[in-house]
Structures are given as structure tokens and as C-alpha cells.
Amino acid sequence: MTTEHTSDVELLVHGGDVLSVDAAGTLVHNGAVATRDGVIVAVGPAAELRARFRADQEIDATGCLVLPGLINAHTHLAMNLLRGCADDLTLQEFLARVIPAETELMSPRAVAAAVRVAAAESIRAGVTTALDMFWYHEAAEEAARTAGWRLLTGPTFMDVPNPPDRRDYNGRPDWAHAYLTALRPAPGRRPVVFAHSAYTLSPGQLTDIAELARDHGALLHLHAAENAAETASVVAAHGKRPVELLESLGLLGPDVLLAHAVDLTDGEIAALARTETAVVHCPLSNLKLGCGVARVPELLRAGVTVGLGTDGAVSSNTLDMLAVVRMAALVHKAGGDPTAVPARQAVRMATVESARALGLAGELGSLEPGKRADLVVLDMDRPHLVPRHHPWSMLAYAAAAADVRDTVVDGRVLMRDRRLLTIDEQAALDELRALVLQRCLL
């Protein structure tokens, strides 16, 4: 007896419990996900999809949890070159140490080598998309493209002496315009322009950068209100707090994404909600730098979109988004309310809410037909994950990067059975070590 197949697909992941992270929070026991041309074509019971589709490649996820790929909505990937070199410092001390070190170390080759290792770390942690603000973004893009990994990046603006990319600030607008003009649309991606902050750019520069971004339909991403000292410096220079200044300049809106947003007033939270400006919460970095705890419960109650990010691996020392999920779910309970950021909310913040913050919720962040085929298979046959009562709680409070077994981006398997398929991990590590040994960092 033969089974009639209605169509062929390139990949069929079947047998595990599929947590779709759709609006209903659908969990399909013994489910499956079918993908074709980098797109999810079906999600449902494994028996049904195995009868319906013939696959070029299959992943048996029996005993596993299948979930959307995690989205790191704020990072500086190549800062892994400096991991461990700027610990136990305030934000301002950290910047004073790191920026000169970047100038000493960074080059297109160094950034490419660092991003290869960062991509390996991220893929191993189930991260399928990252928003990366850093120098030599073209080198980062090429490294990620070669690995088949989804990276959103673009021109960075920061008016400091001796910038790490040695590019004069006055030439940056034309350079960025040329890059954005030449950029071709790609599924699951969008153009991004990075304005570092209100303390490294003048109001006039910020306004010009925002105009450039909007002329090209790009997301504008910048740091804002990371700690009280930053707020004080912006007030001293411009007479307004960071978010107040951005609002006065017309720099808030649905095409703007603020990193950190720790030091906020009630009025600023209301302004973010009113303008539909999104925020990326980076709890590990904020705690390690002593910046404080962002007012995430209040932001969520106000209706602000809040995603999650690791920040750079020199400020958080990790690119592990599951660690960020756990911290986001835990740290806000310290005020006495165990429901402040529930497990389900924390997981959504690392998936569909991060996608929403990037303006890509229609393509990323959940396992639904029509979205990009980015998914992760988590091995549940681990002592710390047994028994399985509630998948949201397990993900938020118990799962770790080491539990990720398979990672898929755009329907392409980048890691299978913990083996990277698109990155020569040992060669990448060796190159990074050699580059660091050649330079005196600090």
C-alpha cells in the first residue's frame, strides 16, 4: 500500500512537541513543521504532515521540543574579541576602556573572524537572527552570509575621535547612502541604520541620520537611557533626558528601536507607547554594568513592544539568549511580584516580540505557514528538563544553550545533532586566537 503525497518539501521536522509561539500559544504534541524554499508551508500533527508531504530531508525530533529560532535584537558581535577585558566596571568606565581597544584591534579581517565565532556560538544557542551594531558591517554581513545565518546590520554613526573603522564622520552620510541605495530586498531582512546614542552624536547629527534612515525605509536603532549617568550627561549637554531629546527631535516612532531604556520616567514610557517606539531589554548587560533594572513590567503594561538582546559579549560575556530569557523572567520578580514577567512573556520577548521590535513580525518569530523557516530543536531528554509539565516554564527557567540540538535558518540546517554544518568551528576559533595574540589589547 502506498501513501499519496500531495506535494514535496525540502525539510520535514517531525515527532517533537511543536511550540508555535503564535498568538494562541499553540502546542502540537507529536507535531511537525514542513518547509519549502525557506518558508514554513505547514505546521500540524506529525502523522498528518508525514502523509501529506514527501521531504528531501527529515529531522526526527521525537522526545524534543521544536520552537521558533531565538532573535537577539541588540548585540555587538565582534566585541567577543574583547570578552573578559572590561569586567567589573561602570558603563562609562567600560566605554573608556573598550572604544580605544576597538580602534587598536578592529579591521575587516578581525570583524569577519569574530563574527564567524559569534555565529557559531549563537547557532549553538538556538539564535537564528541577530541585530548587530558594529564597525565594518560589510565584513560581518559576508561572514554571516557564508554561514547561512540571518544577520541584520548596516552603517553605524558615532562621532568619536579615532573611530575603530578609521572613517571620517563627515564622509559617513554619503557612504551610508550609497550602501543603502545598493541594498536589495531579501526575505526576513530589512535595512538598518545605527545611531550610537545621544551622548556620542549631536542633535543635528541625530536628525540627519534619522532622515537618512527614513528615506531608505530603514529601521533606526540606537542606545538610549542605559543608566542614570548617561541621562545626566545628556541633560547637561542638551537640557533634556535622552528619550525626551529623541522625542523633541522627532526620532521616536514605529521605525525606531531603542536599546536598554533602563532609566525612564513615567512620561517617557507614555511617549514610547504613544509613538509605538520599541525597546530591547538587555538584562544581563544592564546588571553586569550596574546600570539598574529596566522598567519592563511598566513598559509592557503601557503597550510598548519589548524584545530581548544579549548586548555585546564584552558587556554580558555571552550570546546565549536562553540565559537572557531566564534573567528577564527572574529579575523583575525581585520587586515582590512573581507575575511581573511570566515565563510565556519572556519566551515571547525572545521570539515574536523581538521580531515585532525589528518590524519583521510578519516573517519571523513564530512557527506559522508563510513565515521564514527559522526553528530550533531542543533535546528534552536531559535530567534538568524531565518531567515536562509546561514548555513555557521549562524554556524560561530550566533550558540552556547546551540543550539545543538542531538549528535551522531559512529552511537550511546549520546545526544537526550539535554539529555545525556551515562553519568550520575549529578553524574559526584558531583564527580568532591568532588575531588576538598578534595585538596588544589593553
Q: What is the pLDDT of residues 423-437, one digit of tens each?
A: 999 999 999 998 886
Split at pLDDT 50, 70, 90, the class of 322 is very high
88-102, 155-169, 245-259, 297-311: range with lowest mean pLDDT: 88-102
What is the 3-state secondary structure of 118-150? HHHHHHHCCEEEEEECCCCHHHHHHHHHHHCCE
Biggest CA-to-CA distance, the chain: 79
Q: Is the pLDDT of residue 438 over 80?
A: no
**Residue 382 has what pLDDT?**
95
Instruction: Provide mean pLDDT across the span 348-373.
Output: 98
Task: Please name the helix (run of DSSP H) or strand (run of DSSP E) that holds residue 20, with its range, or none.
Answer: none
**Residue 4 has what pLDDT?**
46
User: Which class for 437: exposed (0-12), middle (13-18), buried (19 or more C-beta within 10 A)?
Assistant: exposed
What angle, rounded to 10 degrees, do the helices at 108-124 and 425-438 form?
A: 140
**70-357: same fold as 7-68+366-420?**
no
Q: Is the pLDDT of residue 295 over 60?
A: yes
Nearest to 72 by CA among 312, 305, 261, 252: 312
Contacts of 210 (CB under 8 A, 6+ apart): 195, 220, 249, 250, 251, 256
Q: Which grid cell is 290?
A: 550596574
Q: Is the pLDDT of residue 440 over 60?
A: no
Kindly give the residue spans of alpha helices, DSSP state H, lying in 183-317: 203-215, 228-238, 242-248, 266-275, 283-288, 296-302
Nearest to 180 by CA among 148, 137, 146: 137
Domain at 7-68+366-420: CATH architecture: Roll (2.30)
**Residue 17 has what pLDDT?**
98
Q: Is the pLDDT of residue 2 over 50?
A: no
Kindly give the residue spans of alpha helices, DSSP state H, lying in 37-171: 46-52, 91-105, 108-124, 137-147
Q: Is the pLDDT of residue 5 over 80?
A: no
Instruction: Provide mean pLDDT across the span 67-72.
Output: 98
Kindly give the residue spans of alpha helices, DSSP state H, lying in 148-202: 172-182
Compute the distance between CA of residue 45 and CA of residue 29 in angstroms, rounded to an integer: 7
CA 388 from centroid of its chain's CA atoms: 27
Cβ-contact 373, 66 below 8 angstroms = no
Enter the pTM of the model: 0.96
Cβ-contact 234, 268 below 8 angstroms = no
pLDDT in tens, 219-256: 999 999 999 999 999 999 999 999 999 999 999 999 99
Cβ neighbours of 168 (radius 10 Å): 8
Radius of gyration in angstroms for the set of CA atoms belonging to the chain, rounded to a whole number: 21
Q: Please state the domain extents for the chain.
A: 7-68+366-420, 70-357
Q: Is the pLDDT of residue 1 over 90?
A: no
Instruction: Provide mean pLDDT across the span 277-294.
Output: 97
Instruction: Provide mean pLDDT across the span 131-151.
Output: 98
More confident residue, 96 or 2: 96
Q: Across-strand partners of 131?
A: 152
Region of residue 373 (left: phi > 0; alpha: psi -120 to 50; beta: else): beta
pLDDT in tens, 174-220: 999 999 999 999 999 999 999 999 999 999 999 999 999 999 999 99
Beta pairing, strands 127-132 & 31-36:
unpaired
Cβ-contact 205, 170 below 8 angstroms = no
Percent of residues, the chain, with pLDDT higher than 90: 89
Q: Is the pLDDT of residue 317 over 70?
A: yes
First to last CA, the chain: 70
State the Cα angle at 74 between 69 and 79, rounded to 5°. Answer: 105
70-357 has CATH 2.60.40.60 classification: no
Compute the distance between CA of residue 352 and CA of residue 26 in angstroms, rounded to an integer: 13
Q: Identity (one letter) of the amino acid at 289?
A: L
Split at pLDDT 50, 70, 90, the class of 439 is low
